[in-house]
Amino acid sequence: MNDQQLLRYSRHILLDEIGIEGQQHLLDARVLIIGLGGLGSPAALYLAASGVGHLTLCDHDTVDFSNLQRQIIHRTATVGQSKVSSARATLYDINPEVECVALNIRADEAQLLELVGKADAVLDCSDNFATRYAINRACLAQRKPLVSGAAIRFDGQIEVFDFRRDDGPCYNCLFPEDSIAAELRCATTGVFAPLTGMIGSLQAAEALKLLMGIERGLSGKLLTINALDMNIMRSNLSRDAACSVCGIIPSPLQGGRGCGYESLSGVDNE
Ligand SMILES: [Zn+2]
């Protein structure tokens, strides 16, 4: 680390839990962020400011005027541009040292597998179940830690699946793909702007700890936030032995468990 880096990251280095060694881990790290919307915006900003050395940004969308209410990495002037190039410009403004690759694509399964394979940690900041399941499968296959976030209306959630371990659950254990889930989208349902900031910032915090080998936090856990009552709840997740993605017991009967906070499988509230 040079003098400028020691100064830039001094408030991390001062922390006993991080120090020079932890900061160096961040500088050497590669993170894949899928989705540069409400969650990906704060997550990417904090990861870049924190000095994560290499960020790969993946999003096929362009910046829309209605995004600006919460997608704080984008600017009024970048409406109409691809989200990844808009985001990259902001990140370079904050920290020109970060190597930032902008992929203006909707990654298919093969591309995801390749991108995940090159990353040390993956942030799922997408807004649809199909992408979430695909990311979960890719991270499990490549044994890469996954930080998954979601926010709609006033309700948000974050889960951490550290696939470097053998015993943890996966996203599909929590929300089985073959269960009938109603997909709510911000475009039609609405979302409270600071809630996306809270969840995205939590995703960045969890990713940084995973990269530095700090084994405290949300690994194998679910944290839900209701930003209306400001009720925050943390629950332990358990692996579903019959999970069709990571399970060890093949089961043809997995339907009917529903999807949502009320009907989560394998959740043990703390
Ligand atoms: Zn599973």
Which pLDDT value is given to residue 249? 59
Mind listing the pLDDT tens digit for each residue in 24-79? 999 999 999 999 999 999 999 999 999 999 999 999 999 999 999 999 999 999 99
The CA 191 to ligand 1 mean position distance, Å, reads 28
Tokens at 186, concatenated? 């911000």
- Residues 244 and 130: their CA atoms lie apart, in Å, by 15
The CA 212 to ligand 1 mean position distance, Å, reads 25
> Is pLDDT at 170 greater than 60 in this prediction?
yes
The CA 217 to ligand 1 mean position distance, Å, reads 20
Entry pTM: 0.91
> Is pLDDT at 180 greater than 70 in this prediction?
no
How far from 23 is each of 96, 159, 172, CA to CA, in Å?
17, 24, 33
The CA 240 to ligand 1 mean position distance, Å, reads 6
Q: Could you tell me if residue 40 is left (phi over 0), alpha (psi between -120 and 50 degrees) or otherwise beta? A: alpha
Backbone phi and psi for residue 112, each to the nearest 5 degrees, phi listed first: -60, -45
- Average pLDDT over every residue of 119-140: 96
Q: How far is CA 94 from the centre of its chain?
A: 20
The dihedral through the CA atoms of 47, 51, 52, 53 has a sign that is positive
Which pLDDT value is given to residue 266? 59
The CA 150 to ligand 1 mean position distance, Å, reads 18
The CA 246 to ligand 1 mean position distance, Å, reads 4
Kindly provide the residue ranges of all beta strands, DSSP E only, lying in the chain, ordered along the sequence. 30-34, 54-58, 99-103, 121-124, 146-152, 155-161, 221-226, 231-237, 267-269
CA atoms within 13 A on the CB side of 92: 11
Give, as residue ranges, everything with CB less than 5 Å from ion ligand 1: 170, 172-173, 243, 245-246
> Is pLDDT at 254 greater than 90 in this prediction?
no
Domains of the chain (ranges; CATH) run 3-269 (3.40.50.720)
Tokens at 96, concatenated? 């020109």
The CA 112 to ligand 1 mean position distance, Å, reads 18
The CA 161 to ligand 1 mean position distance, Å, reads 10
Helix (H, G, I), strand (E, B) or coil at 242: coil
Which pLDDT value is given to residue 267? 66
The CA 142 to ligand 1 mean position distance, Å, reads 14
Beta pairing class for 30-34 and 54-58: parallel
The CA 170 to ligand 1 mean position distance, Å, reads 4
Helix, strand, coil shares, percent, the chain, to 5: 40, 20, 40
Question: Which residues partner with 103 through β-bridges?
Answer: 58
Count of all residues that appear for the chain in the document: 270
